[in-house]
Amino acid sequence: MSDKKTIEVYFDFSSPYGYFGIQKIDRLAEEYGRVGEWHPIVLGPIFKHTGGAPFVTNPAKEAYGIHDWNRMSRYMGIPYNHPDPFPIGTVAAARAFYWVSDQDADLGKTFALKLYEDYFANGKNISEKEVVLQTAKDCGIDVAALADALNDDAVKSRLNKEVDTAIEKGVVGSPYFIVDGEGFWGSDRIWMVKYWLKKGGW
């Protein structure tokens, strides 16, 4: 645990804007002497709370979304292959992240980025526990121990608590950034997060 102040980052592993939004957030944090604190959540309960829905439940928004995600991919120079199935449940991925991250925060981030890459670039369905374990293996994580952990009640309730905390903190979508209690929704708002850090608020 760092003594540094944080940028809290809430995201769902099935969220394209989460995928784009998280890529450079730690570089921004470092620039301002902070550390990124990553919190994968699952959007289901968030949507239930906000009345939201995934883009692709509506054809017009789906068309805009797919166009925009490919445009973001070209803009950022990172791959995007719109996955099928999409969206997916990410409970196993998020639980696995916390188990890894609690032991080694850096390895947790490497694992999170690889989960995103496997889903949005490599065509792997990370809703499946076996796929999550394979991604973990690729990151050098102890897969036998992780497989056990995924059945552990403490690991399950850890994710539930993170989702509850997210809702309490006002998280309404993915990604959602919090700087000193100030929340910013969307990968479109990283410019504002940066300006907030620079100015110390306004």
Note whether 186 binds its own copies by CB under 8 A. yes
Stretch near its own copies under the rule CB under 8 A, chosen from 44-52, 85-93, 104-112, 121-129: 44-52
Alpha carbons 10 and 7: distance in angstroms, whole number: 10
The neighbour count for residue 160, using CB atoms within 10 Å, is 13
Nearer to its own copies, 65 or 108 (CB): 65
User: Does 79 participate in binding its own copies (rule CB under 8 A)?
Assistant: no
Q: 194 burial class (0-12, 13-18, 19+ CB within 10 angstroms)?
A: middle
Q: What is the DSSP string of 32-87?
A: TT-EEEEEE--HHHHHHHHT---GGGSHHHHHHHHHHHHHHHHHHT------SS-S
CA distance 151 to 147: 7
Say whether residue 188 binds its own copies (CB under 8 A): yes
Candidate list 2, 30, 31, 53; residue touching its own copies; CB under 8 A: 53
Q: How far is the CB of 50 from its own copies (least distance, A)?
A: 5
> What amino acid occupies position 139?
C
Restricting to residues 106-165, which ones interact with its own copies according to CB under 8 A?
none
Task: Look up residue 140 and give its amino acid.
Answer: G
Residue 60 or 154: the one with the smaller Cβ distance to its own copies is: 60
Q: Are 45 and 163 in contact (CB under 8 A)?
A: yes
In terms of CB distance, is 43 or 146 closer to its own copies?
Answer: 43
* 58 lies in the binding site for its own copies (CB under 8 A): yes
User: Quick one: 50 or 157, whose CB is closer to its own copies?
Assistant: 50
- Interface residues toward its own copies, by CB under 8 A: 49-53, 57-58, 60-61, 63-64, 67-68, 71, 74-75, 167, 170, 172, 183, 185-186, 188-189, 191-192, 195, 202
